[in-house]
Every structure is written in C-alpha cells, then in structure tokens.
C-alpha cells in the first residue's frame, strides 16, 4: 500500500529535442545539468525550471554523462563524458563561495531569464563556459563520470570495459594525470560512483557484477567483486553516511533501534544499492573486517556468489527490494537526506521505497556490554513501496532519476529546502516531482 503521492511540479523548459540520458543536480545550488543525444549539456534552474545555459561544441557525439566537481570556490567545474570516447572538463567563473550562494550569477534570484528561456542572457552565459581540457584515453563510448569526495580524482568508465582514474593536478593549467586504468570487468562498464567520504570506487557492468576499487601503496586495485544479479547492472548508488531507517513501525523502541543501528553501521560503513536488467533492486552490505577475518581459512562459510576475488572486502546481499518494475531498471537513487530510494526504467515507471525498522521477537536490548559490537546483528528492517507513478513520461523509457534540493538560499534557518525528484526520458523531457506524504502514514 502506498503512503505518498508523486506530483508533477514542472517540466524543465525548453526540453531537448533528442534523448536525455542523465541529470546531475549541483551539490549546493538549486540547478541541474542534463546530458543529451544532441551533443549538448543544458543547465536548468530548479527555482523557475527554465534553461540557464547550453554547453555545446566540445563533443562530436551524444553526451552520455556529466558530474559537478565538489568543493570548488569561485567557479563551476563540470566533467562530461561522450559517445565520442572523450571526457571534457568545462569551467565557468562565478561568485558562489563569494556572493550568497552564487544564486544571482546563475539567474536564480530576482533577475531571471525571460519566459522563452533562450534569449540574450542565455547567449551571454554560453560564452562564459570554457572548454578547459579534453581527456583522451578510452577506446569507446564513455558511459559514466564521477568525482571523488575531495574533488581531486575523476573516475570514468566506458564500453571498452575499462575504468580510468584521473587526478586533477590543480596547477592552474588544467592538467590531469592518469593514475590508474582498471580492466577487470568482462563487459561494458555502465556506471562508476565514489563512496560518499572515502576514496573507494564502485562500478557496475554488463558482466552482471559490481566491483569495488581502492588504492593500496600507490596502486589501484579491485578489493571486491559482488555477484548476484542475473543481468546487466545498470546503476549503483551509495547510502548516505548519516542515514537511519524510519522508526515509524518500531514504536517506542525506535530510539534504541536507531542507536544500535548507528553503532553497528560505524563498523560496516554505508551500503550500496544496485539495479539491473533482471528487474531487481538489491542492497549490499560490507561485512566488518572483524568478522570477515575469522572465516578466511579455506573461505569456509562464505558462499561463492558473494566471495570477492581479492578477499580484501566481503560484501553480502542484505535485501532484495519488492519487485515493482516490469522491464529493465536503468537507475536508482538513494536520498542522502531522507534515506528514501527511487527507481526508474524501461517501463516508464517511477517507484519510491522507504526502509522501516521492524521489531524482531528474538532480538533483545539487554545485550552483554562486553560483547564485541561486530557480533551484534543489525536491527531488522524491511523496505516498503510508498509511491508509484506509471507512465511518468508518457510512453517513453526513463533513463535516469536523481534527488535534488529546490532551494538553497532565502529559506528559514534550519530549513534545507524542498527535496524533489528529477527524471529524464527518451523523448528529451526532464520532469521535476514532489513527494507528498499522506497524513495517515504507515
């Protein structure tokens, strides 16, 4: 039973006339970049839903992916990946970090674009984007790009089955250095995404696996290979580091369960979510090193389906979410703010899920305080569907979904602004949705 309604807030206008692959919300401003088959990246305002900039001229084929560099002062830096096998770095001087959120520079204050969204302010804005550098190395289409939490490393992946890691030397001359090329995947690499706080990279592939990568003594290598999906893994995303499941179903024990959860999760770290051509969404959890070090002799007790090739980290399938999609699931997004999950795919459906604490009869709160915390099981949870939207973009497949904040300035203290969903589809449309919780709740 659903417990929320998805409501269309607005379309981003004007849309692309060709397929839109992906949307990338800015990490701090209420703007979003979109990638299109028309070889452009468009930047829209999430305040008035109109076009602010069109970035073009850097790629010869479809722009498949883009990502904003975090922690940049005085300018915006955007990485783009294209079917022409190249990665572009774009820069635009602005005043965020100096002015209040940079909103006026982006046309998000009282001065906004005219109603057609394609007038002189846009043309002037285009001129301010600089194609800083072209990163050349992949042999085929680039499918995903992702900046590390520090912003110093850029990961890219391709149809050529490789993952590249580039270091931004930050020397004022736009120089990047290749620090690693990983080629363990046996098929197209569809997605790369960095851990929210660590330099740990997760990748998803046409070979049905998820792999994790870390640097060890100046050399990057695979630390886990997660198997479980029965088809292409289209997308992965990390849980937010502060996420705690909802206590709605846990009643008075909710606070105790939350505390237990936080203590136990400190050892394991954030989880991963993945979606696949097999129409499933799966949650994966790293086994704390205190546990995984015990059964390593002969690898007894670790099913082969989850045993990593390098034995550095062991990741277990924690949950398969309720199966709600009838066709391939192309993207899944884990809200870092609320912990909600959203998924989209070839069936044109948007589904939103929530994780709830459950009271397990066998679980007691009077655990021996001398017990090793790593041996205490996580409180039981279940994922429930709280909202479904069929035909969200008409008859068209939905390629991507992302959580974004609508406002970043002018709101009352303590109010982080409204969180919305942004979806992109084959017809070029980009839609912004609000999630309205029903009063009765769960």
* pLDDT at position 328: 98
CB 352 within 8 A of CB 435: yes
d(CA 442, CA 355): 11
Strand-pair partners of 402: 422
One pLDDT digit (tens) per residue for the chain, 442 residues: 558 999 999 999 999 999 999 999 999 889 999 999 999 999 999 999 999 999 988 898 999 999 999 988 888 999 999 999 999 999 998 754 344 445 555 656 543 333 333 334 444 444 588 899 999 999 999 999 999 999 999 999 999 999 999 999 988 788 999 999 999 999 999 999 999 999 999 999 999 999 999 998 778 999 999 999 999 999 999 999 989 888 765 555 557 788 888 877 788 899 999 999 999 999 999 988 755 444 443 444 444 444 444 448 999 999 999 999 999 999 999 999 999 999 999 999 999 999 998 875 444 444 454 455 555 566 789 999 999 999 999 999 999 999 999 874 444 444 567 899 999 999 999 999 999 987 544 4
* The two three-digit tokens of residue 314, written as one number: 């062991």
Architecture of domain 4-95+128-289+308-358+386-437: 7 Propeller (2.130)
> Where along the chain do its domains lie?
4-95+128-289+308-358+386-437
Residues in the chain: 442
Q: Phi and psi of 237, rounded to 5°?
A: -150, 155
The two beta strands, 4-11 and 430-437, are antiparallel
d(CA 341, CA 320): 13
* The two three-digit tokens of residue 293, written as one number: 């070090």
pLDDT for 338-386, tens place per residue? 999 999 999 999 999 999 988 754 444 444 544 555 555 667 899 999 9
Burial class (CB in 10 A: 0-12, 13-18, 19+), 217: exposed
* pLDDT at position 230: 97
Q: If we measure between CA atoms, which residue out of 407, 387, 288, 301 comes closest to residue 344?
A: 387
Q: Edge to edge, what strands does the sheet with 176-182 contain?
A: 142-147, 153-158, 163-168, 176-182
pTM: 0.85
Cα dihedral across residues 126, 127, 132, 134: positive or negative: positive
The label of the residue with tokens 């499918």 reads: 143
């Amino acid at each position: 039973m659903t417990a929320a309604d998805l409501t269309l807030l607005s379309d981003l206008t004007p849309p692309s006339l060709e397929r839109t692959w992906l949307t990338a919300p800015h990490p701090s401003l209420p703007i979003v970049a979109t990638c299109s088959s028309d070889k452009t990246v468009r930047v829209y305002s999430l305040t008035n839903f109109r076009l602010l900039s069109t970035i073009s001229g850097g790629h010869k084929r479809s722009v498949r992916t883009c990502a904003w560099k975090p922690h940049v002062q005085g300018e915006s830096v955007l990485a783009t990946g294209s079917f022409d096998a190249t990665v572009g770095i774009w820069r635009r001087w602005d005043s965020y970090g100096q002015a209040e959120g940079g909103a006026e520079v982006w046309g998000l204050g009282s001065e906004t674009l005219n109603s057609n969204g394609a007038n002189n302010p846009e043309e002037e804005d285009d001129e301010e984007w600089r194609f800083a550098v072209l990163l050349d190395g992949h042999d085929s289409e680039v499918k995903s790009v992702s900046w590390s939490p520090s912003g110093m490393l850029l990961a890219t992946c391709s149809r050529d089955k490789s993952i590249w890691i580039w270091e931004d030397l930050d020397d004022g001359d736009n120089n990047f250095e290749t620090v690693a090329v990983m080629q363990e995947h046996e098929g197209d690499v569809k997605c790369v995404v960095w851990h929210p706080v660590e330099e740990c990279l997760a990748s998803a592939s046409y070979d049905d696996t998820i792999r994790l990568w870390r640097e060890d003594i100046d050399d990057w290598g695979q630390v886990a290979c997660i198997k479980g999906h029965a088809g292409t893994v289209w997308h992965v995303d990390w849980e937010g580091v502060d996420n705690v499941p909802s206590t709605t179903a846990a009643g008075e024990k909710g606070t105790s369960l939350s505390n237990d959860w936080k203590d136990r999760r400190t050892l394991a770290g954030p989880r991963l979510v993945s979606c696949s051509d097999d129409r499933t969404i799966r949650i994966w959890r790293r086994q704390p090193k205190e546990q995984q070090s015990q059964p390593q002799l002969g690898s007894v007790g670790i099913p082969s389906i989850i045993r990593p090739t390098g034995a550095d980290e062991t990741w277990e399938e924690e949950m398969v979410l309720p199966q709600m999609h009838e066709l391939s699931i192309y993207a899944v997004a884990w809200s870092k703010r609320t912990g909600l999950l959203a998924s989209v795919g070839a069936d044109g459906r948007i589904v939103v899920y929530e994780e709830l604490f459950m009271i397990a009869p066998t679980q007691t709160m009077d655990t021996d305080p001398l017990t090793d915390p790593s041996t205490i099981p996580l409180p039981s949870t279940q994922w429930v569907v709280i909202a479904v939207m069929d035909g969200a973009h008409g008859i068209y497949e939905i390629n991507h979904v992302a959580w974004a904040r609508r406002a970043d300035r002018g709101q009352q203290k303590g109010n982080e602004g409204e969180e919305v969903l942004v979806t992109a589809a084959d017809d070029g449309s980009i839609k912004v949705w609000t999630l309205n919780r029903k009063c009765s709740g769960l």
